[in-house]
Each structure stands twice: as C-alpha cells, then as structure tokens.
Chain A
C-alpha cells in the first residue's frame, strides 16, 4: 500500500519530491532529558532525509499543549498522513499523542512513537552513539508507520443479563449484588437447593455464629428477589457466543415433582416407604426417603424424588406420594428439559468438593465407622442434623469421650496429588474442637497439626482460645496409623515439639479433609472456554491484579472454584465479580479495541492452527459459500496477543497494528 516511488528530477535544478505517504517527524527535547545526551536537531535533520518524511522538526516539550498544537498545525500545513514523535516511552504518552493527531483529523493509529528517552538518552552519556541510536529508532518508526492503516473501533450491543453458575455463598452474594444493582440475574444450581457447603455447616469461625442463621436470609432474598430467576437441580449444557452476547443451554434435570405446584409441605416425605435413600446433605450419616426435601431451610423448598431409591421408578410399585399430595404435584413421567438463556456475562461460583480420605489406608481406608470426615462431624454437631446436634459415635450411638482431630488430610501432601494448603482446615478444626468441648464438657479433644494457619481477623486469637480457654490439646506431629482395639480406636502419632511418640485411645477421630475441585469442574471450564490448573481450580487472569476475571472476556470467577478460601474471602469475591459485571454493563455497548487479529479469507487455508492456540477462544470456523472453511476472529473476544499471527503458516491472520510487514519493516530498517 505504501512505498516509495522515488524522487523525480525535473529539468535544470528543479527537484520534485514524490511521496506515497507524507510523514511528519517530531523530535522532543524533553527539556534536557533527551537534548542533554542526544543531538535532537541532527536527528530531526536526518529524519527529513528518510523516504516519505515530508516534514521534521524538534521541540522542547512535545507532550505540552503548544507541543501538541505544533503537531496539529503541521498536519494541516504539510498535509501529513502519519506522524512519528520521537520522545519518551510510548507506554507513557502514546494515548496523549494519539488523541492529539485525532483532533487534527488523522486516524489515531497513523501515529508511532519512537522511544529515545528511557531506551536511549537516559541510559548512556555517549552523545554520538545516542544520536545514532535515536536516528535509527526514528527510522524504524518511520518504516513501520508506512505500513500502518487507519483502524476503527466498532460498537457491539450488550445484553445486560448475568448468569451465575453455583448457588453457594459466593454465588448468592454475586447474585444479590447484581440484582440489587438492577440487573437481571439467572442462577443455575446443580443440587436441588442453593446454599452450597455453607448450608451444611453448624457454626462458622471465628465468631461461632450459626451458619444457616446468616446464610438463610440471603437464600430467602435470592428466592424472593424479582430480578433473580433460579434454576435449581439444573446444569449447564452448552455455552456459545461471546462477551455481551452469550447463549446458554441449561439442562433442568427431572425432579419428578412439578415445582410450580409443590408447596413444600412435606407430607410426601412423611409417607414415603422407601427410607434407605442415601442422604447426601447429611454426608451419608443417615438415610432419607426417596422423595425428600434436603433440609428444612432449602431454597427452593420443593420435593425431589431420587430415582435410584424410588419404588415406583425402580420397580413400578407404590405411588403413595402421588396419593397423598394435596396439590397433585407428582410427575413420574417427567424428563430432563433443555432451556436457553441469553446473557451478557457469566459468573462461575461452582465451589468445591471434599477430599475422599479413604485413600489413606493408614486411617482405615473408610472402613472404620468412627473415623469420619470433618463435614460429617459438622452434621453431627448440627441441631438439624441426623443426631439432633448430639455428638454420638456412628458405630454404637454412644457419646465419645476422647476425640482426635487430624489436620491436613489430603492437603499439603504431594503423595496423593494435593500439595497445596486448603486454607480453612486449621480454623474449622479449632471451631469443631471448641464446639465439642461445649457439647461435651467432659470430653478430651486432641488436635494433631503440622502448622497452624490462621491469617484472618481474630483467627489466631480464636485458635488460642481453643487451647487456652477450651483446653483443646494440640500436638505438633502427624498421625501415622489408626487401628481399632475393642470398641476404641488407637491413634498413633508424634509430638515433635516434645520429641515423644503419642498414642491416644480415641472414641472418635475426625479427619480434616481438604478442599478439591468440584466434580465436573473441568467439563464446565471447557464449555466456558476458561482455563484450569492441574488441580481443576479455575485460572484467574492475573494472580494478584485480576483475581476474579478469567482470560475469557465476560466470564468471571468467585469463591473456592478459583482456589481454597474461607467464607469472608468467598463473599468478597462474589461482590468483586458482581462489580466487574456492573462495570462491563455500565454502557449500552462495548467498544472493541481495533488492535485485534483479522483473517484474509483468500490466504487462509483452513488448517485450524490459529483456532487451536488462541488462549481466549476468540477464533472460530466459518463456512464460505463454496463449502470451504476459514478462520474468523471474534473481535470482541480477541485480546491482541498475536499468537495466532505467529502460528499461522501462510500468515493469513494478521494482528492489526502489529502485522508481519510492520515488524519486518522495523527489522529491515536495522539490518539493511
């Protein structure tokens, strides 16, 4: 497009200069910052001799008002089509000068900035060498500019609805913040009720307030908020589209109960004869009926039939619930239903699962009924739990007297593929020990620990209270083996601070099982086109500066799905993600950055290598009328990294403003 034609000579001494593009070069002296070690006049004079440079000058402060005006006037007077400013780093003032040239009528991308300060005048006192370097740098910018093209943003409309995947405390917080901010919210929860893991907890650290007392009202708010549509017992089937315009297919799983009719009265659960259904909410410590409401504060408070235990669905008998239901809500012929929701942003708050301690053969491998997980213990402690809040041994129902809590089960252990710390166990162990001493004042509580991680507000004081006020006995050492002797459990460990072996005859052992990624996390991530680490936790855009964003525009993270954390941090991230969504939706359209990749269909051979490597999923296939397939860039999703450009063999896909020709021009200017 641009290139020198040459210099024509007319008759006699008349010299005619022919330009394909008229470029102006403005060399900034920056006071003495540049002029002190660079001969800026010489640079300007040299620049005037470069091909296509129609005008070159120097000025003391290019970024100042008069400096910018100089540029603007020169553009008009000399009919300039491109501008090079040789000054400070473009990371400093590129936006300033782009605006300046735009005001004078040029497209803002017909501008290049040569860095002759941070990379030149400031790093050497050799004036001759610096001047040479400055001339070369200006030459590189001029050569690049000759391949620049005007670029234009476009406006893409935004659908101001947000999808929140996961109804735990992080998702609930995000939903309420978005809804209270006036946005339409769709929440999808896999279980038949929201509340997540927090709903299973009895009390929370360090305040020992009742979990369902603080979570319950928020759950009710979600149910009652007009702006929130809740799809419980549902999962994400597929996601297509891009930021501002996602189309999401949601699978509403069959509950066999018409939730529009069901009042949650619970008569069906009282009458159901199948009483051996696995009680997921109570961690298998009890059984429940085939038709059930998971817990009294469930939201939505609707009955669900477990098809594996229902006598009708397995054997064709019974149908008692149908008979007693006063509102005719039972639907044995119900099937999964796929619905579509269109949203502009997605917040993923899918939480976690707990490590299965049965891989530790030395702790019984799951065979000993009195070696239980901390979550199971939480249900024993809970007044709404299977034992009504009375701490009883699962084996014989007796009250335990000696209870051992073991930290770091499935955390900080590379041998089971879990080298990381789960962040909450030290605190919840202290809490459970304190609760135990409250419930059973005669009990002896022992905690086997490696370290104590108590970083939050009042956290360390809380752990101290457990020891000093509640008499919980902490010993620093691992437990190597647990085995039964009679109806007791022998716990063998070490106290490394005392240098002693420890053997405790325990009635109950509680394992602090660690946090792991939720089942299905990886599948969901692939649907959303977000990344996850080797443990299945979702990857944030930047570990410090962008903890709730992902590399996929429009998809945000909140809570433990991003990594182990406690409730305050999860709630904080829920609000943070909501604010990111509000930020995205603050305008009616998204302005696209035009410095994105674009495909030349004529050159594209349809090999798909760009689609493979794009970190943001910004390239998709399109089919031309002749049936051939080509790559196509989603401009709103493209972040402008250029990996596709580097990968493409025929170089059909080019990163605008950093095309091959532009880089080659700069390289040739150095080497030629």
Chain B
C-alpha cells in the first residue's frame, strides 16, 4: 500500500494548483484508524495515505459540507474514491446534486477495507498496526513487526465480501491497475438471499431483534452521502408528523423504512450506514434488498452511469407485469 500512498500523493501534487481543496485520508487518532483529510495547503499533501483502513466514503462531504451543487461557486474539489465511493459520486451527479465540472476525481482500485471491529474481536489486544495488505482470501496485518494472517471473509467489511465494483466507475485518473471483483456483477446479494430463505415469522423476528437496538441517533442517515435532507428528515419533523419520537418498535421500523423507501433506486451500497451504527444493526441489508428489487424490475443499478434517470423519477407507459 506504500506504493499506492505515494502514487496518490504524486497525483494530488500534480493537480493541486488548480484545486481549492482535496478530500483524502490521513492517519487517524491511532494506527488502527485512518481519518478523512481536507487538504487545503500543498504542504499537507504528504499527510495523505491510502491503505485498507481508509474506510470512509468521502463523497458524503460533497453536498453537505462543500456545497458542490452550485457550479458558480469557486470551489474546485479533488476527491479520492474507492470503487464503492465512486458510485456515490456518480449518483450525486445523476441527481444534479454535484456538478461534475467541479470535481477532480482520483480513482483508486480497491481490494477491500478492514472492519476494525471484526479484526479486534478476532485478535484481542491488537495495538499498533504498521501495515495491512489485502489479498484475495487473506488479510495480512503487520503488528509489532510481525505479519499476522487472517481469513479475508472474517475481517473485511460486509460490503467488501459482496463487492462487484472494486474499480472506480468514474475518475479523472486511476491510481494503479484495475483489480478483479470478488463477486460477479449479476450476483444477488448473499445475506439478503439467506434472509429471503427464512419464513415470514423468522424474518419478522430477525428484524425486530435487530431494530430493537436502534436508538434513533441518525448516524446512518448522517453518514449516508445521499441523505441530503439532514435535519429536515421526516423522521424528526413535527409537521408533517410521520413518526413520533417514542422509543417503540413501530417507530424504529418506520424510521428505517423511511430510509429504505427514500433511498430506493438511489443507494449505491457504500456501506457507511452499517459501519457507523453504534449498536451494530446491519441496516445496509434493507437497501440491498430494495436494490435487488429495483434491478429485477427495471434492470437498473444506481451510481453506474451518470446520464441515467432514476427509476422512481420516471415511468414507462408500456411496461407490464406491474
């Protein structure tokens, strides 16, 4: 990954003069975590890194922090994206929330990122991490000078195990060579399939026990690059009053259904929602199921082609069976 880090820094240095800010990653509060970086001074470029701990989807900052929607403002933004992140950028462009001309997209093919919670569970006492390398079925973590090997499916993030788009679908330049996807493009989402195999009662039981933990912190919503309503979200409004703040199971279901319905045909499965949930609810599964339905019905995937219209923003008079 050192090569990729250098390559990213070089790429940014080349174009930095024409940009107002570059979004990337840099080392975080400890060696096990990277953190988003907003590079505004050329001298800070050397802080930038890329490695399998760069979990954050930086496109989440485009609309809410940098207001990239207005093409007349001055900001020219550089942004580093993994495969999954790039789909969020495309989706934002599809919806007209981001002006393509203002972005300089540095695409980084990615073999997967590590879910640190999983790794820490598997390897208690993990302190310093010097290097992480992801291979097709192993993840090698160098800690205290020793490389330790772990099965990839035990430490990679949930989304990475189903990854079909490891290479950015949009970029101004690509760092390194494209990598092979872990899953076939047409593969149905595996955990969704497992759940669909359960009975109706079992599924109700699963979701009840999962969503019961929800504390309505809205971290999932705030981390989502496409949830641009933020504090106008109808899960919190008094007028219209869609959901009360009462801490009951119906309210929790309704909040997550609101997200599912509002992201239908839009979610690009970047997995941030699941990553940031403080109580570990696998919320991405809801979107995966809805995306699967959209794919079945309309042969459409969000965040792949910036020219395409969203399926629920349009109609086809001649479609049948519906």
Give chain A's interface residues, CB within 8 Å of chain B: 534, 603, 605-609, 612-613, 627, 629, 647, 649-652, 654, 659-661, 664
Contact = CB atoms under 8 A, between A and B. Distances in A.
Contacts of B242: 651, 660, 664
Given A607-B95, A651-B234, A660 B229 contact: no
A650 B318 CA distance: 31
Contacts of B95: 607-609
A190 B202 CA distance: 67
Nearest to A611: B96
Q: Most chain-A CB neighbours within 10 Å: which of B234, B242, B262?
A: B234
Contacts of B234: 649-651
Contacts of A652: 232
Given A660-B240, A660-B242, A661-B239, A627 B70 contact: yes
Nearest to A659: B240
Pick the 9 closest A-B CB pairs, nearest first: A660-B240, A650-B232, A650-B229, A661-B240, A603-B232, A649-B262, A612-B313, A649-B229, A651-B234
Contacts of A651: 234, 237, 240, 242
A483 to B, nearest CB: 38
B229 A605 contact: yes
Contact of A613 (B237, B239, B240, B313): B313
21 contacts: A534-B318, A603-B237, A605-B229, A606-B69, A607-B95, A607-B97, A607-B228, A609-B95, A609-B313, A613-B313, A629-B70, A647-B312, A649-B262, A650-B234, A651-B240, A660-B242, A661-B240, A661-B241, A664-B240, A664-B241, A664-B242
A607 B266 CA distance: 13
Interface in B236-257: 237, 239-242
A518 B162 CA distance: 50
Contacts of A661: 239-241
Q: Most chain-A CB neighbours within 10 Å: which of B229, B233, B240, B313?
A: B240
A650 B313 contact: no
A609 B97 CA distance: 11
Given A603-B232, A605-B232, A607-B95, A647 B240 contact: no
Q: Most chain-A CB neighbours within 10 Å: which of B69, B230, B232?
A: B232
Contacts of A627: 70
A534 B317 CA distance: 10
Nearest to B312: A647
Contacts of B240: 651, 654, 659-661, 664
Interface string B186-221: 000000000000000000000000000000000000
A506 B97 CA distance: 64
Contact of B233 (A534, A609, A650): A650
Contacts of B312: 647
User: For the side of the interface on B, what is the size category?
Assistant: 20 to 34
B321 to A, nearest CB: 19
A180 B96 CA distance: 48
B67 to A, nearest CB: 9
Interface string B259-294: 000100000000000000000000000000000000
Q: Most chain-A CB neighbours within 10 Å: which of B96, B229, B241?
A: B229
Nearest to B95: A607
Contacts of A650: 229, 232-234, 237
B304 to A, nearest CB: 19
A272 B237 CA distance: 76
A608 B70 CA distance: 13
A605 B228 contact: yes
A608 B96 contact: yes
Given A650-B234, A651-B240, 15 more contacts: A603-B232, A603-B237, A605-B228, A607-B97, A609-B313, A627-B70, A649-B229, A649-B262, A650-B232, A651-B234, A651-B237, A660-B240, A661-B241, A664-B240, A664-B241
A77 B154 CA distance: 75
Contacts of B228: 605, 607
Nearest to A609: B313
B233 A647 contact: no
Nearest to B232: A650
Interface string B163-197: 00000000000000000000000000000000000
A647 B241 contact: no
A649 B97 CA distance: 14
Contacts of B237: 603, 650-651
Nearest to A645: B240
Contacts of A660: 240, 242
Contacts of A605: 228-230, 232
Nearest to A627: B70
Contacts of B233: 650
A244 to B, nearest CB: 29
B245 to A, nearest CB: 15
Contacts of B318: 534
B290 to A, nearest CB: 15
B183 to A, nearest CB: 30
B65 to A, nearest CB: 14
A400 to B, nearest CB: 44
Contacts of B239: 661
A661 to B, nearest CB: 5
A652 B233 CA distance: 10
A129 to B, nearest CB: 28
Interface in B63-84: 69-70
Contacts of A664: 240-242
A563 to B, nearest CB: 16
A406 to B, nearest CB: 30
Contacts of A606: 69
B211 to A, nearest CB: 20
A48 B155 CA distance: 64
Nearest to B315: A613
Contacts of B232: 603, 605, 650, 652
A352 to B, nearest CB: 22
